[in-house]
């Protein structure tokens, strides 16, 4: 298998694709995507059906997976599809990319993980087989040599990427894995589970080193801060019960810092946002209640809320920088969201902190 290929030729690849976009304006009587009438650029859809996952490949390109079984590379700034990979035979549940490369990994309900390279055609260059149920967790080690996978089959697996060999496996009773994160610059892996707990693994011994206090509801997602000090996890729930995200201090196992409460249904995704220049650290969450919320990381004050009426569950977020955020939805594909201060434009909803959150494009 070839080594890591960098993005020097990506602009040449993108230039082969033609931009197709229209301005979307709600018709009379039709609900816009927030409490204000607005106009949203409607680009070529990335998927047919629901979009389950999205992540960043480069500053301009994102990768997504959906119920159509496709893994799609999309230039979200130019509004055009660059590549659609077909290889899974059931819906795609997670996608991850190795930073600074053209490597893409996709997990699926077909129990496999496939590896793709944007510079090596449209066939997978590696396949990781061994799970017995849907693969929901997917993370790459900081040096790019190992792949961690987690499944509803209770197994956590560690793979050598070059050989696709499973080097370590561990089964934990009732550990129906929902998400996996590798702690930056560390040998630790964090995972959430349907058994309502968060576990920290040592990738060297492939053993659980810490189990955080169980929450009241299923833990759906997790993310680790860039400095590796904090982890945020999100909870299942309904009617405002549960539905929160929780900030944990990884330096003090089991230490809960704050909770972010305000969603009315399951909080499906939680992400640390790049800190804006001169600003405070922030966390973003998306929910089955069709809203995205941005929070002050340390005080848990809600700084802004965006409601995407009719979009259905908002299942995944991918921050691209401190002012741009991509959001995957069940009903309306992917949304490009801008986060800023002091705007009076349409498609905006402000929270107590006065942050403006608006959709500018959909694809």
Q: If DSSP codes are grouped into helix, strand and coil, which group holds residue 65?
A: strand
* pLDDT at 353 (0 to 100): 59
pLDDT in tens, 173-212: 999 999 999 999 999 999 999 999 999 999 999 999 999 9
In a domain, 14, yes or no: no
Helices (H) and strands (E) in the chain, counts: 1, 33
CATH number (domain holding residue 303): 2.130.10.10
In a domain, 29, yes or no: no
Exposed/middle/buried for residue 257 (C-beta within 10 Å: 0-12, 13-18, 19+): middle
Total domains, the chain: 1
Look at residues 188, 194, 147, 187 and name the one whose alpha carbon lies nearest to residue 172. Answer: 194
Type and span of the H or E element at 14: helix 10-14
Q: If DSSP codes are grouped into helix, strand and coil, which group holds residue 11?
A: helix
**Percent of residues, the chain, with pLDDT higher than 70:** 86
Q: What's the pLDDT band for 354 if we cut at 50, 70, 90? A: confident
Q: If DSSP codes are grouped into helix, strand and coil, which group holds residue 117?
A: strand
pLDDT in tens, 85-103: 999 999 999 999 999 999 9
CA 236 to centroid of chain Cα atoms: 16
Q: What is the mean pLDDT of residues 336-360?
A: 71
In a domain, 93, yes or no: yes
* Strand-pair partners of 314: 329
Range of the domain at 308: 51-341+355-362
pLDDT in tens, 282-330: 999 999 999 999 999 999 999 999 999 999 999 999 999 999 999 999 9
* pLDDT at 97 (0 to 100): 98
Q: Tokens at residue 61, please?
A: 């390109």
In a domain, 46, yes or no: no
Q: What is the mean pLDDT of residues 36-60?
A: 90
In a domain, 17, yes or no: no
Comparing 234 with 27, the larger pLDDT belongs to: 234
pLDDT in tens, 9-27: 444 444 443 333 333 333 3
pLDDT in tens, 243-259: 999 999 999 988 999 99
First to last CA, the chain: 33
Look at residues 273, 221, 234, 246 and name the one whose alpha carbon lies nearest to residue 53. Answer: 221
Return d(Cα 305, Cα 286) in angstroms, integer.
10
In a domain, 91, yes or no: yes
């Amino acid at each position: 298998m070839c080594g890591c290929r960098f993005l020097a030729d990506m602009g040449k690849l993108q230039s082969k694709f033609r931009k197709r976009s229209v301005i979307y304006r709600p018709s009379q009587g039709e609900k816009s995507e927030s409490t204000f009438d607005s106009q949203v650029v409607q680009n070529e859809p990335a998927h047919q059906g629901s979009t389950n996952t999205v992540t960043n490949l480069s500053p301009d390109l994102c990768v997504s997976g959906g119920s159509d079984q496709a893994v799609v590379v999309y230039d979200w700034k130019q509004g055009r599809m660059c590549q659609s990979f077909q290889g899974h035979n059931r819906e795609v549940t997670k996608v991850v990319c190795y930073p600074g490369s053209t490597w893409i990994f996709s997990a699926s309900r077909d129990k496999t993980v496939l590896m793709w390279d944007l510079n090596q055609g449209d066939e997978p260059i590696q396949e990781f087989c061994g799970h017995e149920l849907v693969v929901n967790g997917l993370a790459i080690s900081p040096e790019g040599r190992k792949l961690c996978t987690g499944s509803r089959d209770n197994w956590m697996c560690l793979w050598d990427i070059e050989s696709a060999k499973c080097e370590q496996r561990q089964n934990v009773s009732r550990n129906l894995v929902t998400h996996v994160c590798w702690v930056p610059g560390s040998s630790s892996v964090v995972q959430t589970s349907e058994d309502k707990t968060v576990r920290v693994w040592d990738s060297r011994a492939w053993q659980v080193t810490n189990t955080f206090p169980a929450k009241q509801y299923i833990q759906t997602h997790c993310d680790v801060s860039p400095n590796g000090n904090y982890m945020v996890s999100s909870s299942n729930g309904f009617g405002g019960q549960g539905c929160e995200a929780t900030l944990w201090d990884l330096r003090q196992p089991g230490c809960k810092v704050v909770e972010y409460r305000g969603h009315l249904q399951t909080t499906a995704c939680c992400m640390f946002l790049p800190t804006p220049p001169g600003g405070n650290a922030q966390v973003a969450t998306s929910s089955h209640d069709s809203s995205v919320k941005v929070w002050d990381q340390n005080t848990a004050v809600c700084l802004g809320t965006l409601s995407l009426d009719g979009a259905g569950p908002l299942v995944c977020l991918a921050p691209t920088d401190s002012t741009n955020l991509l959001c995957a939805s069940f009903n309306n594909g992917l949304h490009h969201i801008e986060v800023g201060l002091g705007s009076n434009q349409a498609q905006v909803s402000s929270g107590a902190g006065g942050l403006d959150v608006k959709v500018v494009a959909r694809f």
